[in-house]
Every structure is written in structure tokens, then in C-alpha cells.
């Protein structure tokens, strides 16, 4: 059984702070890793993809991948109240994505 684990939260950070979201996965053959943002009652929106060990930056978002530790994280710099949402980690192994249960982030003004 392939597993993707996330702390359900909520993770509460003050506006302007760095939010750090973490995800671990069980399948060492996993090839691609994704972060989706989902607002309440809405569909998941892809915000970051990462395929190689190390960091990938896109605006205020940085994804970090460590395949040896089977760990992927998302950093959100200068957090804004509009970043308050559930963040889903997804891992591709073979032809399918496996999703974690999501971490709820709350950014307080």
C-alpha cells in the first residue's frame, strides 16, 4: 500500500511569516512530487511540481525534495491571509498519483 502522510493541522502562522508544510511517502520508486492548494469547497489547484532532489523556487513558494529521506516539503514565504487553505501533497509512482490527506494552513492577520 503506497502511502503519503501529512500532518492534518491546522498549522497557524502570523501574516508575513514562513509557513512550512511537510510530507513523507513510502514508495521509494516515486518519480514526481506535487503540491496542490485547495480552498474550502473548491477544487485542488496545482502550485508546485518537483522531480529532482533539492530546492525549486517559484515566487513565494519553495518546494524541497529529499528522496533518500522520502520527504518533500513546501515553504511559503511572506504568508498572506489568502494563503489560508488546505495543501495537498501528491506523489507519482507508476501511472498514478497518490494524495496525502492534506494540511490545513491558517494565516492570521
Partner 1 sequence: DADVTQTPRNRITKTGKRIMLECSQTKGHDRMYWYRQDPGLGLRLIYYSFDVKDINKGEISDGYSVSRQAQAKFSLSLESAIPNQTALYFCATSDTRFGYYNEQFFGPGTRLTVL
Q: Under the rule (CB under 8 A), what is the footprint of partner 1? A: 4, 8, 31-32, 34, 42-46, 49, 51, 88, 90, 92, 95-97, 99-102
Residue 63 host element (H or E): strand 61-66
The nearer residue to partner 1, 68 or 96, going by C-beta atoms, is 96
The nearer residue to partner 1, 59 or 81, going by C-beta atoms, is 59
Q: CA 101, CA 8: separation in Å to the nearest integer?
A: 7
- Kind of pairing, strands 32-38 and 11-14? unpaired
Taking the complex as a whole, the smallest distance from the CB of residue 9 to partner 1 amounts, in Å, to 11
Q: How far is CA 40 from the centre of its chain?
A: 16
The nearer residue to partner 1, 82 or 95, going by C-beta atoms, is 95
Grid coordinates 498572506 are at which residue? Answer: 80
Taking the complex as a whole, the smallest distance from the CB of residue 35 to partner 1 amounts, in Å, to 11
Amino acid at each position: 500500500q503506497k502511502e503519503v502522510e501529512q500532518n492534518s493541522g491546522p498549522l497557524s502562522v502570523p501574516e508575513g511569516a514562513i509557513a512550512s508544510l511537510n510530507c513523507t511517502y513510502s514508495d521509494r520508486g516515486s518519480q514526481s512530487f506535487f503540491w496542490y492548494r485547495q480552498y474550502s469547497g473548491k477544487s485542488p489547484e496545482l502550485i508546485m511540481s518537483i522531480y529532482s532532489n533539492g530546492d525549486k523556487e517559484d515566487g513565494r513558494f519553495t518546494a524541497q525534495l529529499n528522496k533518500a529521506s522520502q520527504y518533500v516539503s513546501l515553504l511559503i514565504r511572506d504568508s498572506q491571509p489568502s494563503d489560508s487553505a488546505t495543501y495537498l501533497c501528491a506523489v507519482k509512482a507508476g501511472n498514478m498519483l497518490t494524495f496525502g490527506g492534506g494540511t490545513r494552513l491558517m494565516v492570521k492577520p
